[in-house]
A and B are shown apart, each in its own frame.
Chain A
Amino acid sequence: MKQLDAQASDETSRQRVATRAVDTLCPYCGVGCAVTYVADVDHNRIVHAIGRDGAANAGRLCVKGRYGHDYASHPQRLTRPLIRLQNAYPKGQLSPMEQRPGKPGGPVEHDAVLPHFREASWDEALQVVADRLLGIRESHGSDALAGFGSAKGSNEEAYLFQKLVRAVLGTNNVDHCTRLCHASSVAALLESMGSAAVTNVVRDVARADVAILTGCNPTENHPVAATFIKDAAAAGTRLIVINSRRPQIADYAALYLPIRPGTDVALYNAMLHVIIRDDLLDHAFIRERTEGFEAVAEAVREVTPAAAERICGVPAADIEQAARMLGEANAAMFFWGMGISQHTRGTDNARCLISLAMVTGNVGRPGTGLHPLRGQNNVQGASDAGLIPMVYPDYQRVDDPAVQERFERDWGVPLSPRPGLTVTEIISAARDGDVRGMYILGENPFISDPDVNKVREGLANLDFLVVQDIFLTETAEFADVILPASSFMEKAGSYTNTDRRVQLGAPVLQPPGEARQDWELICEIAQRMGYPMAYDSVADVFDEFAACTESYASLSHAALGLRGRWYPCSNPETSDGEPIVFGDAFPRGPAMLVATRFTPADEQPDGDFPLVLSTGRVLEHWHTGTMTRRSAALDTLAPDASVELNPTDARKLGISDGQQVRVTSRRGTITLMAELSEAVLPGTVFIPMHFREACANLLTNPAVDPWGKIPGFKFCAVRVEAAREAA
């Protein structure tokens, strides 16, 4: 008879692992999933992730949250401060851009770069940083300094970093990667409503009759949010999906509109045209809650669906149908992503979506709202905390004398009234010699910014660069000093997700070697530069940040607890916060509707560069790959870069699936594998941004949107040709 031994496992062949379970958050995207990480105490590594019942995820996780946690224990983690050796000057990149034959692809060639640096004590490294930054401030002025913070850091780190740049370096030259993702959406939302946060949460889509998903690919980029959108679709919410590269969520759509890249304004203005022509307007909402409607109506008068079809390629009948579905819906919600924002007219694209929502009265009620899907886990919070060159925390303008006076009083130093430079402007200024010293915390502009050759010139031209990060990033190759920091898994702090939910992350692991907490390093650099900056805990930093940020004023670490709160939250004791805002009024009063006219993208295809390139992410990887390419599971699932090419174009070019091809723009060339796909329209190609050895941003156009200053990552002209096999 078969015996059942309750302890049946083969004890001898198994490694018994002492574990500790910590309730925290996923470090990746803006959805902000709550997770419990189970850590191997003795080996200081995470072994297992369990979805927690968070407001945004209800226990669900995606591949990155579930399996992408091992980067924190990667052997290439930085463990001691590093100082560049004398013979490593003049500065330049230290590992090759292209994959060499026989050399496995991957991020920085750690072993090639490390010999150019020597280990230093914390005291020496921090003193060099303080002395060099002070030296540049004295000889060239405060505006010769700049800092990049990070949307992967906590609210507390973001607050301290912008405080350091403003109060200690003395300049407003502080920005972060929101400039590269939703700066145009933020510009349009601030202009229209006086607030850039989402007006309702993702899961409110369950109450929408219609949801428009445009320029976003949630199943890859916000996978857990996508599950709730698919829930809604299964329960009757009709999805209208608009994209130039067919996202998988189109499988669940009532209507899919494949649009030519860069022609969004024509499509939305035609939808506005139909809604006005057929009187599908919410007249009471327009009258009581908006201004500027007449100008919008005038601007779209001639934009008939037939006229728009000629520009955007979407059949006029489909435009009519989308407009009617939206206009006749009782509740409609708008999701958008980088396909809207990352254009040289990204702000106009967002303005159109705002107008569509406002003229149909679809803001401020259940199942209605404007939801730009935030990318990084704390891009909302980093922006709220003032990692933006024009504004202090809470979007208070630096050029408003009353605001300046208040922060001068709070921080005890004179502050600059001049709005600072943005990410791309700082890089240009570095190339031109106007910015001479930089502090980069947790960002990797060498891979993430447009036109990498220009970034290389800018970074190489700096007199002094300090990089604070967990790995030797591509950007750190240009550093004079590298400071080993703590990963998400090693620190406490608050993070604000795409839903405006402020949630606490908790330390799961010990920092490796001598690596230190980011917030302590910021404080120590400030102290060594002569500015008192000291806190007993991260919670104290939060309190100072909340005191100058109205939407966080009622919150504290203790009040956030294990589940967090949505802001605004009148009383965290009794309320979970507001999932839907602006039911009665917008912060600026009536919402401003701004008329737009179709303007072609900055760089048009021609005979030499006949195809349009769009860049983006894949499910398994994250931004510049610093984390995910050092995760065994994620790197195994998606090891290589490829360019998606429509089979029609491939046939004309004589290219077959899996073949190596060269992609060339006016700025550079990369070599990677061709992947034939019907998802991309004929005449367009798509390349993910994560792979240094096939760096998409060697190709991209640095031209920016005039209002949001965001680069048009989603549009540049390229040609594709078969690569000659390496000899």
Chain B
Amino acid sequence: MDTVTLQIDGHTLTVPAGTTIWDAAASIGITIPALCHDPRMAPVGVCRLCAVDIGARTLVAACVRACEDDMEVHTSTEQVVDDRRTLLELLLADYPEDSRREAATGDDELLALARAHGIEAIPYPDGAIGQPRGEDHSSAVIAVDHQACILCDRCIRGCNALQHNDVLTRTGKGHTTRIAFDLDTPMGESTCVACGECAAVCPTGALTNRALAGLQLMTEEQS
């Protein structure tokens, strides 16, 4: 098998040719932050939070970029972290005050990353003011909050690539871009089979389990 040898944060490692930087880093215990990537899915490189420094003109998305021989990857330089912080602030600029996921299961990945990066205030205007993206409560089991959607495409890949239900897609352009069901029908009237994969893979409060509304789950030790 063809292999390539590279350095990540000073560690030298050899991986099969074609391995992404994200996977190579994961194999030696370095978790590169990502919101769109999930190891169960083909990477799409849309959230850019996994951007790392390989000494090239710009940062590269680790989830899609293949390792190369003699590559020197730095996953947490000041520039990389600054870049991430700016991306998080932009994503949070029009994020709802109250993430349904954070309130219920406490595992909103966007807010967790923001906290990890010490973000306390958003230096950008709230893009939601005057142009709310809306919600969809037509499904019996899943609540949709478009305002919390960061267009990471995880739900779309979960629906189409993992479950092959082929219901979820994107619609609109520019600011009006959002996820949609079938030909943009309400979720509850679409061909959705309610498998819940989209809500399971969603990293934010965009797709959540309706049954958890009003609950704040704590693990037993915390209570």
Contacts and interface: CB of A to CB of B under 8 A. Distances in A.
Q: A and B from one assembly?
A: yes
Interface of A: 1-4, 6, 8-11, 13-21, 38, 41, 47-48, 50-51, 58-63, 66-67, 70, 219, 223, 226-227, 230-231, 234, 252, 619-620, 632-633, 636-637
Given A9-B98, A15-B216, A60-B163, 11 more contacts: A1-B122, A9-B103, A9-B216, A11-B216, A14-B216, A19-B218, A60-B195, A61-B196, A227-B163, A227-B164, A633-B194
A18 B216 contact: no
Contact of B123 (A1, A38, A51, A70): A1
Contacts of A47: 211-212, 215, 217
Nearest to A21: B219
Nearest to B201: A59
15 contacts: A1-B121, A2-B122, A3-B121, A4-B92, A8-B97, A8-B98, A8-B102, A9-B102, A14-B216, A19-B219, A61-B197, A66-B194, A234-B164, A633-B211, A637-B194
B111 to A, nearest CB: 6
B141 interface: yes
Given A1-B121, A230-B164, A18 B98 contact: no
B57 interface: no
B38 to A, nearest CB: 10
Contact of B217 (A4, A48, A231): A48
Given A6-B115, A60-B162, A252-B164, A50 B200 contact: yes
Nearest to A637: B140
A619 B203 CA distance: 27
A11 B215 CA distance: 10
A637 B141 contact: yes
A711 to B, nearest CB: 29
B215 to A, nearest CB: 5
A8 B103 CA distance: 8
A6 B218 contact: no
B173 interface: no
B40 interface: yes
A2 B215 contact: no
B196 to A, nearest CB: 4
A38 B220 CA distance: 11
Interface in B5-53: 40
Contact of A2 (B93, B99, B211, B214): B93
A12 to B, nearest CB: 11
Contacts of A2: 92-93, 121-122, 124, 126
B92 to A, nearest CB: 6
Interface of B: 40, 92-93, 97-99, 102-103, 105, 111, 114-115, 119-124, 126, 140-141, 162-164, 193-197, 200, 209, 211-212, 214-220, 222-223
Nearest to B191: A248
A637 B121 CA distance: 42
A21 B217 CA distance: 11
B158 to A, nearest CB: 9
Contacts of A41: 220, 223
A504 to B, nearest CB: 21
Contacts of B212: 47-48
A67 B215 contact: no
A127 B173 CA distance: 73
Contact of B121 (A4, A60, A227): A4
B218 A18 contact: yes
A14 B214 contact: yes
Contact of B195 (A1, A10, A62): A62
A62 B126 CA distance: 37
A362 to B, nearest CB: 24
A629 B217 CA distance: 26
A6 B214 CA distance: 18
Contacts of A11: 216
B114 A51 contact: no
A51 B199 CA distance: 12
Nearest to A252: B164
Contact of A59 (B40, B216, B220): B40
A17 B217 contact: yes
Contacts of B122: 1-4
Contacts of A6: 111, 114-115
A645 B15 CA distance: 57
B210 to A, nearest CB: 8
Nearest to B195: A62
Contact of A15 (B92, B115, B195, B214): B214
Nearest to B123: A1
A230 B194 CA distance: 17
Contacts of A16: 216, 218, 223
Given A60-B162, A231-B164, A636-B140, A66 B196 contact: yes
A4 B194 contact: no
Contacts of A636: 140
B215 A17 contact: yes
B218 A63 contact: no
Contacts of A226: 164
B209 A48 contact: yes
A497 B214 CA distance: 36
A482 B97 CA distance: 52
A3 B216 CA distance: 22
B220 A20 contact: yes
Nearest to B164: A230
Contacts of A633: 140-141, 194, 211
Contacts of A8: 97-99, 102-103, 111
B154 to A, nearest CB: 13
A48 B199 CA distance: 12
Contacts of A17: 215-218
Contacts of B97: 8
A15 B163 CA distance: 33
**Which one of A8, A11, A619, A632 has the highest number of Cβ atoms from chain B below 10 Å of its Cβ?**
A8
Contacts of A67: 141, 194, 196, 209, 211
Contacts of B115: 6
Nearest to B163: A227
**Which one of B40, B114, B126, B164 has the highest number of Cβ atoms from chain A below 10 Å of its Cβ?**
B164
B189 to A, nearest CB: 12
A16 B105 CA distance: 11
Contacts of A59: 40, 200
Contacts of B217: 17, 19, 38, 47-48
A219 B200 CA distance: 19
Contacts of A58: 40
B195 A63 contact: yes
B114 A10 contact: no
A60 B219 CA distance: 23
A50 B218 CA distance: 15
A11 B119 CA distance: 21
A63 B141 contact: yes
Contacts of B40: 58-59
Contacts of A230: 164
Nearest to B126: A2
A612 to B, nearest CB: 27
A234 B161 CA distance: 9
A41 B212 CA distance: 15
Contacts of A632: 211
Nearest to A18: B223
Contacts of B114: 4, 6
A617 to B, nearest CB: 14
Nearest to B105: A48
B214 to A, nearest CB: 6
A600 B194 CA distance: 39
Nearest to A620: B194
Given A18-B223, A48-B105, A48-B217, A4 B120 contact: yes
B100 to A, nearest CB: 9
B120 A3 contact: yes
A51 B200 CA distance: 8
Contacts of A3: 120-122
B84 to A, nearest CB: 15
Nearest to A249: B164
A63 B120 contact: no
